[in-house]
Amino acid sequence: MTQEAAGSYPTKARRSPASPSLHERLPVVLPVVVAYGCSGLVIWCISEIVNNPPSDRAGWLGAGARLCGLLGSYLLLVEMLLVARLPWLERDVSVIVLRRWHARNGRLLLTLIVLHACLAVAVEAARTQSPFVGAAIGMVLHFPHVMAAAAGLALLVMAAATSARSVRARIAYGWWHLLHLSTYAAVGLGFAHQLLGADLVGSAGTALWTGVHVLVGVLVLWFRVVAPVRASLRHRLRVTAVIREAPDVVSVWVRGRRIEQLQARPGQYLRWRILTRWSWFTAHPYSLSAPPGPDGLRFTVKAVGNHSRALGRVRVGTRIAIEGPYGALTECRRRRQRVLLLAGGLGIAPLRALLEGLTADPGELTLIYRVECSEDVIFRDEIDDLARRCGIGVHYLAGPPGGEGRPEPLAPERLTDLVPALRWHDVYVCGPTGMVTTAVTSLRTAGVDHRHIHTETLSF
Ligand SMILES: Cc1cc2nc3c(=O)[nH]c(=O)nc-3n(C[C@H](O)[C@H](O)[C@H](O)COP(=O)(O)OP(=O)(O)OC[C@H]3O[C@@H](n4cnc5c(N)ncnc54)[C@H](O)[C@@H]3O)c2cc1C
């Protein structure tokens, strides 16, 4: 499939179809591990209650507050790990799934921490015989560690509020990212008052609790800061060309030293930090739009905001720092010989790289490329050329989305018409969230098993 010798670039690595991969086990293993930690904390709190039974209502409220606080803080650490860029998570679990776990865990931990705060205030209100609000203000003003924890809670609430879909769509990626980074500060701000809590003070649990925090901190620091800095220094990437693909889309080529050691695979993405005065402080995710090779790495960007627009003006020779590669939309997911790639809009970028990187005989690969109008098609020459040389079936589906009397372009019957024996294919889907949801529903209706549908979205 790939024309040039792949050399030491890992574009054709293929996992044995028999070996169950990490992404298939993680959805079961991870909740079990998390639940195991939660039950340990519950047992610990219950044993505390058995040893020192509360004598009144305030005592029971206090026990409830401590249980909620410990569980919430533990899930906050899990949340930190989910976004710590751990390679075995980032490369085996799709962005969609990671985001779902992050959102569910985030909702649960915030509920527990808010409940903890309310119960703790209720205890103080009962102790001082004061109203709830007065007790809350008193606690914050009189105890510096409670003030710090309250500030941490405010940061968590802000991060949660900006994650709501309607709010997120109005915020620039850079700001949204910065707000989410502030949750690391929330962990630090809450830590002191946890150590002073009745369950931990002076106990062996203090050492364990501190150790777990230090371990999570080290992992976050290593994978979010040290590893990217090392990779950027080692590979010394520079822009070698900026090519306009459409009025609002450019491809950026970068080259550096020992790029093959990055082990980037077609279908993956990196976070790119353009080292200029206007953009060194933010790294944005863009997928590889060609398999990594002797020409370097290519990513393709649609101008939607400041960062993506400015990439159209970036100069040849500009230095680039990277984080990654990340992403699970790779050949490792593949279980079947026949493959359908289903792209929507700019979702073509990672699928264009896969189209060239997948190992396949003529007739085994099909690409369906969905766009609103035919002018939106990018890489048409490259795709048609690959299709001719490698026997790939290509269908461009241009037109508005279905609904309001219009037929759905990705309806199950349409897909089965275009791709005979669809249910015996592995299907890679990438595009806007709505398109991915529609495509998955149609594929399931057409009989494709969920284990053979591999999805990714470019939404954050
Ligand atoms: C895993 C992954 C891979 C990606 N790969 C690519 C790629 O190959 N090519 C590419 O062009 N883009 C890709 N993106 C999206 C890209 O990262 C963002 O479009 C970009 O970072 C936006 O930055 P900006 O400063 O230009 O726009 P901003 O100023 O951040 O955004 C401008 C406006 O557009 C909205 N917006 C921007 N991007 C998105 C988005 N992705 N989803 C929903 N709303 C959005 C914002 O809410 C805002 O209203 C990818 C995203 C992810 C998560």
CA of 304 to the centre of ligand 1 (A): 7
Q: Is 170 in the pocket of ligand 1 (CB under 6 A)?
A: yes
CB 239, CB 314: distance < 8 Å: yes
Per residue in 385-401, pLDDT (tens digit) is 999 999 999 999 999 88
Q: Is 268 in the pocket of ligand 1 (CB under 6 A)?
A: no
CA of 14 to the centre of ligand 1 (A): 30
Atom of ligand 1 nearest to the CA of 303: 26
Per residue in 400-415, pLDDT (tens digit) is 888 778 888 999 999 9
Q: Is 273 in the pocket of ligand 1 (CB under 6 A)?
A: no
**pLDDT-above-70 percentage for the chain:** 93
- Say if residue 330's pLDDT is above 60: yes
Token digits of residue 447: 């009989």
- Say if residue 18's pLDDT is above 80: no
Q: Write out the chain in H/E/C secondary structure.
A: CCCCCCCCCCCCCCCCCCCCCHHHHHHHHHHHHHHHHHHHHHHHHHHHHHHCCCCCHHHHHHHHHHHHHHHHHHHHHHHHHHCCCCHHHHCCCCHHHHHHHHHHHHHHHHHHHHHHHHHHHHHHHHHHCCCHHHHHHHHHHHCHHHHHHHHHHHHHHHHHHCCCHHHHCCCCHHHHHHHHHHHHHHHHHHHHHHHCCCCCCCCHHHHHHHHHHHHHHHHHHHHHHHHHHHHHHHHCEEEEEEEEEECCEEEEEEECCCHHHHCCCCCCEEEEEECCCCCCCCCEEEEECCCCECCEEEEEEECCCHHHHHHCCCCCCCEEEEEEEECCCCHHHCCCCCEEEEEEHHHHHHHHHHHHHCCCCCCCEEEEEEECCHHHCCCHHHHHHHHHHHCCEEEEEECCCCECCECCCCCHHHHHHHCCCHHHCEEEEEECHHHHHHHHHHHHHCCCCHHHEEEEECCC
CA of 458 to the centre of ligand 1 (A): 7
For residue 453, list its beta bridge partners.
Answer: 427
CA of 394 to the centre of ligand 1 (A): 27
Q: Is 302 in the pocket of ligand 1 (CB under 6 A)?
A: yes
**pLDDT-above-90 percentage for the chain:** 62
Q: Which one has a higher pLDDT value, 251 or 49?
A: 251
Per residue in 95-145, pLDDT (tens digit) is 888 888 999 999 999 999 999 999 999 999 998 999 999 999 999 999 888
pTM of the model: 0.86
Atom of ligand 1 nearest to the CA of 285: 17
Q: Is 298 in the pocket of ligand 1 (CB under 6 A)?
A: no
Report the topology of domain 335-457: Rossmann fold (3.40.50)
Q: Is 311 in the pocket of ligand 1 (CB under 6 A)?
A: no
Which residues contact residue 236 at a Cβ distance below 8 angstroms, ignoring those fewer than 6 apart? Answer: 256, 257, 319
CB 415, CB 443: distance < 8 Å: yes
Atom of ligand 1 nearest to the CA of 171: 47
Query: Strands 453-457 and 426-431, how do they pair?
Result: parallel
CA of 173 to the centre of ligand 1 (A): 7
pLDDT at 247: 92
Identify which of 90-104, 170-184, 195-209, 342-356 has the greatest average pLDDT. 342-356
Q: Is 300 in the pocket of ligand 1 (CB under 6 A)?
A: yes
**Does 1.10.3470 match the CATH number of domain 22-201?**
no
- Say if residue 44's pLDDT is above 70: yes
Q: Is 349 in the pocket of ligand 1 (CB under 6 A)?
A: yes
- Say if residue 348's pLDDT is above 70: yes
pLDDT at 291: 95
Architecture per CATH, 232-326: Beta Barrel (2.40)
Burial class (CB in 10 A: 0-12, 13-18, 19+), 164: exposed
- Say if residue 43's pLDDT is above 90: no
What order of strands is seen across the sheet that includes strand 339-344? 393-398, 365-371, 339-344, 426-431, 453-457
pLDDT at 1: 40
Per residue in 224-277, pLDDT (tens digit) is 999 999 999 999 999 999 999 999 999 999 999 999 999 999 999 999 999 998
Per residue in 414-440, pLDDT (tens digit) is 999 999 999 999 999 999 989 999 999
Question: Which residue's C-alpha comes closest to atom 17 of ligand 1?
Answer: 285
Q: Give, for ligand 1, the residue of 308, 323, 379, 430 to mutate: max count of ligand atoms closer than 8 Å to Cβ.
A: 308
pLDDT at 279: 85
Per residue in 159-172, pLDDT (tens digit) is 888 888 788 878 88
Banded model confidence at residue 452, pLDDT cuts 50, 70, 90:
very high
CA 314/CA 252 separation, integer angstroms: 9
Token digits of residue 392: 């790939």
Domain ranges of the chain: 22-201, 232-326, 335-457
pLDDT at 201: 59
Q: Give, for ligand 1, the residue of 304, 306, 352, 378 to mutate: max count of ligand atoms closer than 8 Å to Cβ.
A: 304
Banded model confidence at residue 6, pLDDT cuts 50, 70, 90:
very low
Atom of ligand 1 nearest to the CA of 95: 1
